[in-house]
Structure 1
Amino acid sequence: MEKKTGTTTVGIKLKDGVVLAADTQASLDHMVETLNIKKILPITDRIAITTAGSVGDLQALARMLEAEAKYYQFTWGKPMTAKAMANLLSNILNESKWFPYMVQIIIGGYVEEPTLASLDPLGGLIFDNYTTTGSGSPFAIAILEDGYKEDMSIEDARELAIKAVRTAGKRDVYTGERKIQVITITKEGMKEEFVEFKE
């Protein structure tokens, strides 16, 4: 019998930056493994990735991307852009398609410009203004579709991302209802916070 896992992660891109949000519950089948896992991992001080799927696979990919980002900085004397990192990650995932990493990833960052993309386990890459992954994504995407505006502020996008995860958590049994991890990335840098699920 297949074991069920679940989560909700969201990403929103604006002219001033990127907002990523995710629940903090790790589940396996009908058991909650932990209520305090970080599903958004910073890769550099300006790029982060989220995961729906295998946390171990995401952690392995994050270590790879961190090493690649440091090598790029050392070689070229400038930081890798989020767009370049998304393309690199797409190639890594595609090269492993016969033994895939079991992840759906959102990558967001602000290096030169705000960038947001989603990737499937085989490396399919889509750049977009907003996206969501995980078992709660059918609920979260409706909130993003309804609330997203191109000219919205970072604070409004933060509130929208939190609302999307909260809504998913109310309807998706595999999305946690304790805390929401939020990362905001602007040209000034990255800010991480944890918000209580209940309003």
Structure 2
Amino acid sequence: MKLMENRKEDVAIRKTGTTTVGIRTKDCVVLAADQKATMGYFAADLDAQKVYKLTDKIGLTIAGGMGDAQTLVRFLRSQAKLFEVERENAITTKALVTFIANILSGNRYYPFMIQFIIGGHTGTPQLYSMDAVGSIAPVEDYTVSGSGSEFAMGVLDTNYHATMKKDDVIKLAIKAVQAAKKRDVMSGGHSYTIMVIDANGVQELSKKDVEKIVAGM
């Protein structure tokens, strides 16, 4: 499956500037992103949030328009909670991914200018990549999105292996985004946003913890 091939939506998303990464191993999923948000050639925010918790077991990264992304994140959180109340059971990663895809597909003629990486652990670690019109690509190992994708992907191609421990996966995610921040003028920010999803649920690393990891690399 080829996502966003020759689509004007892909060009628009990439112009906004971002690097997001998703990595899956047998035990966990790690989501990571830079923190730079731009308005044209102006760096409007250097602490932008691009990784979001949707449920206690599911998170996502965004690339594209912040307004579209934040609107959808609020809606998805409310729908996931409603599902849990009505069914007396938390929504699964696959079910929420399908729900998101249906929303994006339904708006394909007036698409949200966003691209998602979605990770969750509802039984097993799962990772998906999704484009602006709802195409779903299950990911076995790692994926990237945004204007710094090529630089991040090179680091992942070289260093990833499926048996990596969680701490090593976190470091690899940081290295991938770090490479993009170095070479992609549209990616940057003060630090990195890192989210770990495993059998214990979603955990976003504190700024202090991220800085400590970076200092030790």
Correspondence for 2:167: 155
Alpha-carbon distance between aligned partners in 2 of 1:177 and 1:32, rounded to the nearest angstrom: 9
Alpha-carbon distance between aligned partners in 1 of 2:44 and 2:196, rounded to the nearest angstrom: 27
Counting only pairs closer than 5 Å after superposition, residues 55-66 of structure 1 correspond to structure 2 as 55-66=66-77
Q: Deviations over 1:132-157 (max 9, x none)?
A: 00000011011111111111111111
Counting only pairs closer than 5 Å after superposition, residues 159-198 of structure 1 correspond to structure 2 as 159-193=171-205, 194=207, 195-196=210-211
Picking from 5, 19, 27, the partner of 2:38 is 27
> Which structure has greater strand proportion?
1
Alpha-carbon distance between aligned partners in 2 of 1:186 and 1:68, rounded to the nearest angstrom: 22
SS at match of 1:179: coil
Structural RMSD (CA): 1.7
> Which structure has greater helix proportion?
2
TM-score, reference length from structure 2:
0.87
Correspondence for 1:116: 127
**Counterpart contact for 1:82–1:115, Cα < 8 Å:** yes
**Counterpart contact for 2:47–2:189, Cα < 8 Å:** no
Q: Deviations over 1:104-149 (max 9, x none)?
A: 1101111111111011001111010210000000110111111111
Alpha-carbon distance between aligned partners in 2 of 1:84 and 1:141, rounded to the nearest angstrom: 28
SS at match of 2:132: coil
Structure 1: which amino acid aligns with 2:59? A
Correspondence for 1:88: 99
Structure 2: which amino acid aligns with 1:191? Q
Mark the runs of 5 or more structure 2 residues left unpaired by the alignment. 1-11
Mark the runs of 5 or more structure 1 residues left unpaired by the alignment. none
SS at match of 2:192: strand
Deviation of 1:69 after TM superposition, in Å, equals 0.7
**Counterpart contact for 2:19–2:33, Cα < 8 Å:** yes
Moved over 3 A (4+): 196-199
| Amino-acid identity (%) | 41
